[in-house]
Structure 1
Amino acid sequence: MLKKLELRTVTVTRYITALREGGSLPALAEADDDFKYVLKFKGAGHGVKALIAELIGCEIARALGLKVPEVVFANLDEAFGRTEADEEIQDLLQGSKGLNLALHFLSGAITFDPVVTTVDERTASKIVWLDALIINVDRTFRNTNMLIWHKELWLIDHGAAFYFHHSWVNREKHAKSPFTLIKDHVLLPQATLLQEVDAECKALLTEEKIREIVNLLPQEWLTWEDIDETPEEIKEAYIQFLLIRLEHSEIFIKEAQDARKALI
């Protein structure tokens, strides 16, 4: 019997430092399991939608056999952060009470540099395919969002994916979009096997797997003031977006292949 997909829940015990590389002010923190995590706050710029994108993006990548850090739910106590001197960070912490998201901190990891490290064609193709599927705008030469840890490639930061959810209109149109920004993907030059990995990835991302991943989303992230849909209806919208996108994957594959030809 297959093990049910679940995320652990930890309680943040110590705020270590802000990680100012991103606009959302993630932090390095320690939790009650004595591990360090990169903590993503629901009180940051794009709120829970960035956490939703992070969770779904990471777990889809994991389902495809790509390496991503463990994702956990991270509880932030009401009293947490009162000793923080930086007012901006204190406001962020106070606005993030309750359930947030955290990724296991890969201590000693270095930022992926395409000049230094060459990624094999199959892996590159699979990562480009993933980012085209989830419309992830943020894996470019300027910001690769990949790390080398123990001589292996790890994917991080999927919070900018699924950007259709910031407007929440024309969802089917977004699902069938070619995703033109794939032209800026850092691994596009090596992605020669997109057609081949398409079949492999779609076989792994069954409807059951998609539903299992999206159903990880906690209720408290799914009560949006600007729309009337219930948490279950919001989950179903993400599921249908992904299923439609998978069904029409030839649209984003052709866009990536055409962009790659333009590069070389």
Structure 2
Amino acid sequence: MAFSSEDIADHPNFVEALRGFAASLRQQFDESPRLSRMLASHQRWLLSQAAFALQLEYDPTQPGSGLTTTNLREIITSNNAASRNTVLNFLDQLLSYKFVRIVGDPTRRPKRYEATEISFQAMYQWVLTNLLVLDRLDGGDRVSRLQGRPDLLRQVQPQIARRACLDPRWLEPPPRVALFLWTEAGGLVMDELVRRAIEPLPGGDVYEIGRIDARQMAEHFMISRTHLQRLFRRAVEAGCLSWPDDTRKSCLLSRDFLREYCQWQAVKFSIVDHAYEKICGPVDLGKPEPLLGAVREA
């Protein structure tokens, strides 16, 4: 039976699994920075998932189906995730970076787009990485089954996208989480903070996450240093981050804030698990945990 979001959030191994997830996303960013940035804010995540699902759902017998500006706009604007102009700009960016291509006659309306190979591989990797977190919680075989039948991605991913775009708990992050996730590249910054949160300090209220070098982080993630510094100031004001002294040699991450983030991420992982189970059937539990390397080699 698929996990509920409460089951995931309360699982004793979830924080550790989420750290591994964040580390995997960081590696994927290092391997393909420009593509990773297309998922680096919640708005872009929603746009990317919806766009990929639409192109997988293309039916040649149904005129107007597939990834078109109109179809993407209908999904995204119906839940106020983005404006019409944002949808247009997003598709233009995907096209200019060659993450999608126009199919058929480019002068016909509506234009239909499809994902290029690099986008297919990135989405496949993303789904595997999410399934790995779930396998680490119950010893399931989700990763190995999808690796054995990669064609199932065409059915699983639209299920994930459709469910995610309809679940208000996922659409609207908690205010402190939204502070990061609704900003440019905020997802990359959040992953970096989670990746560093290894052990809470005595007392259990905070994690020591080391020195935060805003200049270096901004350069690595290709974002404005001013934007990043403003984000950190707002995070301190909201009680997400703090510094124990004026030297700022080490930053502290609030355990309550990490818990909020885990609860929100648990909604997404539950969506992924329910989508997987609907397409692939019940999970076979108790098998050895897949190695992270096995996912990277897929």
Q: Normalising by structure 2, what TM-score?
A: 0.26
Q: Does 1 or 2 have the higher relative contact order (CA < 8 Å, sep 6+)?
A: 2
Larger radius of gyration: 2
The structure with the greater share of residues assigned to strand is 1
